Amino acid sequence: MRVLELGSYLAPAYAGMLLAEQGHAVDKWTIVDPIHDLIDGAAMWEWVNTGKTLHERHARHVADVPAGTVDVVIDNVRAVTWSRWGVDPAAEAARLGVTWVSLRADDDERSFDAVAQARAWGDKGSLPFYIGDTAAGLWLAFKALAAPPGHHVIRQAAVLAKLVEGELQAPTRVWDEPGTWSWSTPRQPALVRFRGDTITEPPRDDQWRREHLAHVDGRYQV
């Protein structure tokens, strides 16, 4: 398939890399990407773009893509940003006749790895590596391959929550003694600094996840 990768950072890039590894032709449009600002960013950039064709082009120009030239589009652009650019992914997916999958935060705002972990796992703790990006990228690639034509939105916290054994059906893990968790105190929220902004996400308990994360009968929906 001909895959068009839009967006920035790790999740869509990881999805595009997985699709390229499976033999699909992946074109990545990129202008400026915050990966370059990370520790070992240059090496990460080279790794996560393995097998792709890179183009210096802005994502908003997807509206100029002729129908019949691409089969799949993946992105992690916020809904408000697409709106500001005057691009409607659902309308573009219909015009192009493609499967278009967008990765977004649960509230359509910025989606960060640590914030997604706080929302998905809450009192179950957080991990100091990019599991939110790689898990989200894996599901993004899977959805791109499995979903029918049209626009589909998957949520990073719900995607990450799929990794929790038992999902919502097991509000506590039976093999842990009560009071053994130390990550869930209000003094230790998820904290992310990005482009001059500080994002704080307090730990989320099971009741919050049941109310805010997409699920049906206790199973997270991706």
Residue 120 tokens read as 């998905």
Residue predicted with more confidence, 218 or 186: 218
pTM for the complete prediction?
A: 0.84
Measure CA 162 to chain center.
Answer: 13
Residue predicted with more confidence, 193 or 48: 48
Whole-angstrom Cα distance, residue 77 to residue 193?
Answer: 19
Question: pLDDT by residue (tens digit) across 126-163?
Answer: 565 677 888 899 999 999 999 999 999 999 888 888 77
Q: Could you tell me the CATH number of the domain that includes residue 60?
A: 3.40.50.10540
Residue type, 65: V
Question: pLDDT by residue (tens digit) across 154-166?
Answer: 998 888 887 765 5
Q: At what angle do helices 131-146 and 10-21 cross, to 10 degrees?
A: 50
Domain of 36, in residue numbers:
2-220
Residue 191 tokens read as 């904290």
Alpha carbons within 13 A on the beta-carbon side of 150: 5
How many domains in the chain?
1
Indicate the average pLDDT of the chain: 84
